[in-house]
Amino acid sequence: MLSVNEENFKQEVLDASMPVLVNFWAPWCSLCKRITPILQGFQSDWVASVKVVNINADENLRLSSTYRLTSLPTLLMFHHGKISYRLDQLIDQRELRYLLNQVLTQQKC
């Protein structure tokens, strides 16, 4: 997955031609480590339809503040430069994949 920061956020996320799933994480966050393989699998399944990127919340405080992060991991789905979905809590793998598939399917309509 691509690492994004404050310098390339506009180009990689807001100006992207496809939906972008942004994973805000931190190195100390054990739940963040659990979600990474799920997101990698999701990206593999939808490689032509969605871009999945990581943002280290500790190193990108302006973005963390802008998107009002209250917990990690936080997932934001962007479509045409706007947030179309937000998930501030970790759910189990099956439920997360189902939810992400639903959100992406709705955006393709």
Residue 80 near residue 107, CB atoms below 8 Å? no
Residue of 32, 50, 55, 72 marked catalytic:
32
Residue of 16, 26, 29, 99 marked catalytic:
29
Q: Look up 32 and say whether it is catalytic.
A: yes
Q: Return the DSSP state at 14.
A: I
Cis before 73 (ω within 30): yes
Cis before 27 (ω within 30): no
Q: Look up 109 and say whether it is catalytic.
A: no
106 φ, ψ (degrees, to nearest 5): -65, -35
Q: What is the signed CA dihedral for 91, 79, 29, 45, rounded to 10 degrees?
A: 60
Active site residues: 29, 32
